[in-house]
Amino acid sequence: MPELPEVETVRLGLEQAMAGRLLLRVLQRRPDLRRPFPPRFEARLTGRRIDSLSRRAKYLALHLDDGAAVLVHLGMSGRMLVGRQSNEPFGAHDHVVFDLDDGGRVVFNDARRFGLIDLTETALLSEHPLLRDIGPEPLGDAFTPTVLAGRIAGKSSAIKIVLLDQTVVAGIGNIYASEALYRSGIDPTRSAHSLKPREIDKLVPAIQSVLTEAIAAGGSSLRDHRRPDGELGYFQHGFKVYDREGEPCPDCTCREGIRRLVQGGRSTFYCAKKQR
Ligand SMILES: [Zn+2]
């Protein structure tokens, strides 16, 4: 599932392809994804200009010149494909096609259909039912150690699980929770409310640095290695622990190396010596 850096990379790629462009044709190829498409979806978008694109948590918004906003979530397997030719045949999972006035084509493709597309207004976006309860953006000014401390106070679940809660902090998933806890030396199984202020003082910048580095890696993947299939958002990134069970621990001298455990049905990667 894409996390904040992957979605931000998709936003950057879509901005290059779509910002300032008119939507000459919008084709909706099935009635629903995770939920039905909004009524008259094609008609409400056709002819409009895309002024800009933004991201909130793992959601993308396309801001149209009439004040409307197209809200997109990629779900588990949703992909935005750029660079298709207008004479190419559609694939089975190509669900929405955006044809632009410069001849470009952007395709929303989603094999498992956990993604969703909704239509709202830019002015109402922060009050949208899917967005209004989401916690602060981790790279925004509102995310500080004091704020995180307040949001995890009284939560007895493991800190790894709590970091995945989108109402605590936005956009963090399984990969970046493991990476940030490793960097800050915090045992992922600790109760969230047991974290000391000095540990939260390390955790917040660790979250911010793993996300910032991943966004930078995604940005360079856009410039340097655009994938031949035009898929945006996935890139090679050097994780320290994620998916490295049994490998040497990069930052310490432990002999056991990276371990894996399962929390909430999902894998956590960690070092038992470095993380206390
Ligand atoms: Zn280690």
DSSP secondary structure string, 3-50?
-HHHHHHHHHHHHHHHTT-BEEEEEE-SSBSSSBPPTTHHHHHTT-BE
Ligand 1 centroid to Cα of residue 181, in Å, is 13
Look at residue 61 and give its three-state secondary structure.
strand
The answer to whether the beta carbons of residues 149 and 197 sit under 8 Å apart is yes
Ligand 1 centroid to Cα of residue 200, in Å, is 20
Q: Write the CA distances from 55 to 12, 188, 259, integer angstroms.
A: 10, 28, 33
* DSSP letters spanning 221-266: HHHH---TT-B-S------SSTT-TTSPPTTS--SS--EEEEETTE
Is residue 227 scored above 60 in pLDDT? no
Nearest CA to 94 out of 113, 73, 109 is that of 109
Ligand 1 centroid to Cα of residue 265, in Å, is 23
Ligand 1 centroid to Cα of residue 256, in Å, is 7
Computed from CA positions of residues 17, 52, 98, 103, in that sequence, does the dihedral angle turn out positive or negative? negative
Which tokens belong to 46?
């056709």
pLDDT of residue 236: 63
Per-residue pLDDT of 41-94, as tens digits, reads: 999 999 999 999 999 999 999 999 999 999 999 998 899 999 888 888 999 999
Q: Write the CA distances from 125 to 33, 49, 77, 121, 261, integer angstroms.
A: 20, 18, 24, 6, 38
Per-residue pLDDT of 261-275, as tens digits, reads: 999 999 999 999 999
Ligand 1 centroid to Cα of residue 276, in Å, is 11
N-to-C CA span, the chain? 28
Cα–Cα distance for residue pair 48/222, rounded to 1 Å: 26
Query: Would you place residue 253 in the very low, low, confident or very high pLDDT band (cuts 50, 70, 90)?
Result: confident
Ligand 1 centroid to Cα of residue 270, in Å, is 8
The answer to whether the beta carbons of residues 113 and 185 sit under 8 Å apart is no
pLDDT of residue 254: 92
Spacing of C-alpha 42 from chain mean position: 26
pLDDT of residue 238: 77
Ligand 1 centroid to Cα of residue 186, in Å, is 12
pLDDT of residue 84: 85
pTM of the prediction?
A: 0.93
Look at residue 198 and give its three-state secondary structure.
helix
Where do the domains of the chain lie, and which CATH numbers do they carry? 4-127 (3.20.190.10), 145-270 (1.10.8.50)
Nearest CA to 112 out of 79, 71, 70, 72 is that of 79
The residues carrying an active-site annotation are 2-3, 58, 266
Nearest CA to 15 out of 229, 205, 219, 182 is that of 219
Residue 225's CB is within 10 A of a number of other CB atoms, namely: 10
The answer to whether the beta carbons of residues 182 and 271 sit under 8 Å apart is yes
